[in-house]
Structure 1
């Protein structure tokens, strides 16, 4: 039975796609994922997205839903998937994809909606949709090109080729590879992040994400505005005081 589970560990939320045998993204899974994302509260300081088992992170959409799909249904399918992945991307908390196996099609698109990606050595990533005579529809054509550049994105999308974890790291598709568990690596990164000023981390995420949609001059103005807002927080005062007092800061998201 397909399900998406939620677990909270030390203020780190873990979303696990469990849809045997390869964690496919059918409509039931997407609906559960959307519901979990909607329920994420301020006590969650970071989020990890992963797949159950060791074979697959998420190996794409459920192809069984495709045969009867016409133009209107196809467009609606894309809008629904994009809306859910956009909600993940828009979370104020940092979101890490723990890629523990195959991340193909919608699975890679899900990983691309996260802030950064860590992978196990056996991970394989790709957008193979043209093999089915369709194109990526959950944001892959847009997010991949923005992440690794249009030329490399086109090469991977046009050819439907998978890349290894090592190649994905080389081209900037994943940010780190671990010798052990991708989930453990993601937890380690999340553990580091939640020790930092949470309001500052959230502002930094907003500055990067929104700034990429702007001209440089407007992005710099946004950065200055957010910096100024952070200067009015108790967390800034605590962080600076802790620096001078040579102690660990105690941030309170205020």
Structure 2
């Protein structure tokens, strides 16, 4: 997973990635509790569980297409993605406290950040499982489908790809940083960020305006 995501990050022709499970039973069932457990961050790959949970420099969007259970590290992997779509049969949980452990791959922090402390604690302290529709109601899942969830993810990817790639990447980086900093600071400094300056000076910025004026689809160059 880490190698695949490294290759995705390095390839200018790849603009969106989709992570999903094989079959319809599980997206990722998490740690095998019968195997030896990691005892420190050094026990994990540098990019974390699934090559994603400790990856903070990836500006391209990653979509989680959750096709079944996403438990423990599997839920943490989905939370580390930028957007989650789910099968109606999917479910989510961080059940580590039920077996004397804790969600140590960013799940605690991301869940609190994304849905608020009180709602997050109702999940974290109980290890209870959420259905796909419950996760959507909490704002964790963008869309729940009865049909093939991978097709749903591809539809979202196509919509993202229709936008300028530099705009998408700059927006992701600013949004990610803004989540951890005061609004007064991020609004005041956004124009000074190098990715924003590069975006505004890019060929795609000129192309977007030309395409709008000429009433035609834009031809993005990602540079």
TM-score (normalizing by structure 2): 0.91
Are 2:12 and 1:47 equivalent residues in the alignment?
A: no
Structure 1 residue 77: deviation in Å?
Answer: 6.0
Alignment correspondent of 1:59: 29
Contact 1:127-1:156 within 8 A present in 2 as well: yes
Structure 1, unaligned runs of 5 or more: 1-32
Q: What's the Cα RMSD here?
A: 1.8
Structure-1 separation of matches of 2:153 and 2:127: 27
Correspondence 1:2-81 to 2 at 5 A: 33-40=1-8, 41-66=11-36, 69=37, 73-76=38-41, 80=45
Highest RCO, 1 vs 2 (Cα 8 Å, sep ≥ 6):
2
Structure 1 residue 82: deviation in Å?
Answer: 6.1
Structure-1 separation of matches of 2:54 and 2:97: 26
- Alignment partner of 2:212 out of 240, 243, 246: 243
Are 2:66 and 1:99 equivalent residues in the alignment?
A: yes
Alignment correspondent of 2:149: 182
Structure 1 residue 143: deviation in Å?
Answer: 0.8
Are 2:177 and 1:230 equivalent residues in the alignment?
A: no
Q: Which moved more, 1:231-240 or 1:221-230?
A: 221-230
- Alignment partner of 1:218 out of 174, 185, 189: 185
Structure 1 residue 36: deviation in Å?
Answer: 1.6
Structure 2, unaligned runs of 5 or more: none
Contact 2:53-2:105 within 8 A present in 1 as well: no
TM-score (normalizing by structure 1): 0.80
* CA-to-aligned-CA distance 1:150-194 (integer Å, 9 cap, x gap): 111111111111011111000112111112111110000001111
Structure-2 separation of matches of 1:78 and 1:153: 27
Contact 1:120-1:178 within 8 A present in 2 as well: yes
SS of the counterpart of 1:137? coil
Correspondence 1:165-204 to 2 at 5 A: 165-204=132-171
